[in-house]
Amino acid sequence: MKINIKKPVGIVTLLCAFTAPQVSALSLEDLAKRLDALEKQNKLLMSENNQLREAVALTNDKVEAAVSATETIAESTSGIQKLANFADKTSIGGYGELHYNNLSGKGGASDKDEIDFHRFVLFFGHEFTDNIRFFSEIELEHSLVKDTDDGSNGGEVELEQAYIDFDLNEQHTARAGLFLLPVGIINETHEPPTFYGTERNPIEKNIIPATWWAAGAGAHGELGAGFSYDAYVHSGLSVSDSFSVRSGRQKVSKAKANDPAATVRLKYTGVPGLELAVSAQHQQNMGQGLVAGLDSGNLIETHAIWSTGPFTLKALYAAWDIDGSAVKAAGADQQKGFYVEPSYKLSEQLGIFARFNQWDNKAGSNSGSAENSEKEQWDFGVNYWPHEDVVIKADYQYQNNDDGKDQNGLNIGLGYQF
């Protein structure tokens, strides 16, 4: 509160009016002295107040400067990275998963009682300019790679992605290098906290076959109204005379490149919670021209994901149609499978799921080695996320394979991403 003391006479009059009995005991000289003292004190306070105002203004300036500096550093991916312009454009991430399988084999199938750090993955990305980016993924599988006398070892070190994206404009991006093929649900997005089940589903593993990468070039982008596309020409499979598609992945390691392949995908995500996609791939020669009776092949994959509130339903179908007399004789000219997976999130941290999988890698025949080749697997389980990027999984798998060789039991997993 500001007190106007510039008119001492007025104040004296005022004081006299209210304190007449006391004033009578004081002389006017005493009052004048007291007023002088008050005036002096007031001047001192005003001077101090001005100094404080200046100090506060200066402090505000300092705070503003400090906050701006703090925020500038904090706005980079990491404060330390900001120290170097190069590091500011480089990002690091990763994921990993530890699995425990306790499966009992029956009908001739083996038991599986195993603990395995299945995947340890690191991502490195770098932004050369706003329109040219590099992305890579390097993976250590099964925790160990060692030199052994007989050439066998426990794991693999794999370069799963190493590509450069060139933005052509706001909607379209060209891609070249080594990249994951746009097929299925988990081939491109397979960080453990993003899916249910300790092990990946057997359809995408044995039919598609995920994780599946190749070297090549192409483009991806948006078409408007919720539609997007991917289109690539890339290195092909090199399937042996066992006709196992999964074993035909060359992983871009001195890969035979006699016959290329092409993959296209059309995806619709124009409604929140809904994804519809169809992928098609043509392999010019499934065996790179090295296997008699094995010619071209076509893969069709389609899937749907519907999420509403805590409920999600996933369904996927994939099928190969392969030409060639030998592959046809083995019944492997048709390889197909599907799965359906409903899940429900009881809370932000807890979700339950069930999945039915059916697949056949020799669906083209019902005789010889192709007899009783159809496989079925049920999975039931739970995911618990103690943090949004950390997951603990437990599930039970029950197989009902036509050949009677089943592995049933418990899987437990720990996964993370960052």
Pick 79 or 404: Cβ nearer another protein: 79
Site for another protein in 6-45 (CB under 8 A): none
Q: Which of 310, 346, 366, 398 binds another protein (CB under 8 A)?
A: 310
CA distance 269 to 278: 12
Query: Nearest Cα to 215, choosing from 265, 249, 171?
Result: 249
Instruction: Single out the segment in contact with another protein by CB under 8 A; choices: 8-16, 21-29, 264-272, 371-379.
Output: 264-272
Query: Nearest Cα to 94, choosing from 49, 65, 125?
Result: 125
Mask: binding to another protein, 145-184, rule CB under 8 A, as x and -? Answer: --------------------x-xxxxxxx-----------
Q: Which amino acid makes up residue 377?
A: Q
Cβ contacts of 299 within 8 Å, gap of 6 or more: 183, 208, 279, 280, 281, 283, 318, 319, 320
CA distance 197 to 400: 18
DSSP-based three-state secondary structure for 295? coil
Distance in Å, CB of 196 to another protein, minimum? 13
CA diameter of the chain: 130
Mask: binding to another protein, 183-212, rule CB under 8 A, as x and -? Answer: --x--xx----x------------------
- Does residue number 349 form part of the binding site for another protein (CB under 8 A)? no
Distance in Å, CB of 338 to another protein, minimum? 18
> Are 196 and 343 spatial neighbours (Cβ–Cβ below 8 Å)?
yes
Element housing 243 (H / E): none
Q: Which of 21, 108, 151, 272 binds another protein (CB under 8 A)?
A: 272
Cβ contacts of 409 within 8 Å, gap of 6 or more: 101, 102, 103, 104, 112, 396, 397
- Does residue number 386 form part of the binding site for another protein (CB under 8 A)? no
Query: Nearest Cα to 257, choosing from 235, 234, 232, 286?
Result: 235
Distance in Å, CB of 259 to another protein, minimum? 25
- Does residue number 136 form part of the binding site for another protein (CB under 8 A)? no
Distance in Å, CB of 397 to another protein, minimum? 24
Instruction: Single out the segment in contact with another protein by CB under 8 A; choices: 18-26, 67-75, 240-248, 399-407.
Output: 67-75
- Does residue number 81 form part of the binding site for another protein (CB under 8 A)? no
The burial of 232, by beta-carbon neighbours within 10 Å (0-12 exposed, 13-18 middle, 19 or more buried), is given as buried
Count of residues of this chain found to bind another protein when the rule CB under 8 A is applied:
43
Q: Which of 81, 143, 244, 269 binds another protein (CB under 8 A)?
A: 269
Tokens of 128: 């050369």
Instruction: Single out the segment in contact with another protein by CB under 8 A; choices: 40-48, 126-134, 200-208, 335-343.
Output: 126-134
- CA dihedral (197, 203, 204, 208) in degrees, to 10, reads 170
- Does residue number 69 form part of the binding site for another protein (CB under 8 A)? no
Q: What is the DSSP letter of 184?
A: S
Residue numbers at the binding site for another protein (CB under 8 A): 67, 70-71, 74-75, 77, 91, 93, 125, 130-131, 133, 135, 165, 167-173, 185, 188-189, 194, 219, 222, 226, 228, 269-273, 275, 305, 307-310, 387-389
